[in-house]
Amino acid sequence: AQKITQTQPGMFVQEKEAVTLDCTYDTSDQSYGLFWYKQPSSGEMIFLIYQGSYDEQNATEGRYSLNFQKARKSANLVISASQLGDSAMYFCAMTRSYSGAGSYQLTFGKGTKLSVIP
């Protein structure tokens, strides 16, 4: 069974600084996808970034980058130049094996609450 571990319940970062949110995973699947989602206090889940297990390069999306280390089974999210609006819960997730045609279920970590300090 897949498992996602986020060891940081809460993180603080100064505005304009970079921050790394940790995520480790465990799976027996050879092919899988890794995701990061942001959940502000309003509750909506906002997709940030995706990394496929066979992608050789680390994914980047604007200020977000995913530091993918396959051998260590880690997929840390790096946010550069933090902004006040980045304060939110951040969830790491991965796809899991599913028999449905062409569909992938997600397993989520427990989340990290990021607070950006002015």
How many residues are given for the chain? 118
Residue 17 C-beta: closest distance to other proteins, Å: 26
Among 23, 111, 114, 116, binds other proteins (CB under 8 A): 111
| DSSP letter for each residue of 7-55 | --SEEEEETTS-EEE--EEE---SS-EEEEEEE-TT---EEEEEEETT-
Decide: is 102 part of the binding site for other proteins (CB under 8 A): yes
Looking at the Cβ atoms of 79 and 92, the one nearer to other proteins is 92
Q: Is 54 in the site for other proteins (CB under 8 A)?
A: no
- 91 near other proteins, rule: CB under 8 A: yes
Least distance (Å) from other proteins to the CB of residue 105?
6
Q: Which residues contact 30 (CB under 8 A, 6 or more apart)?
A: 53
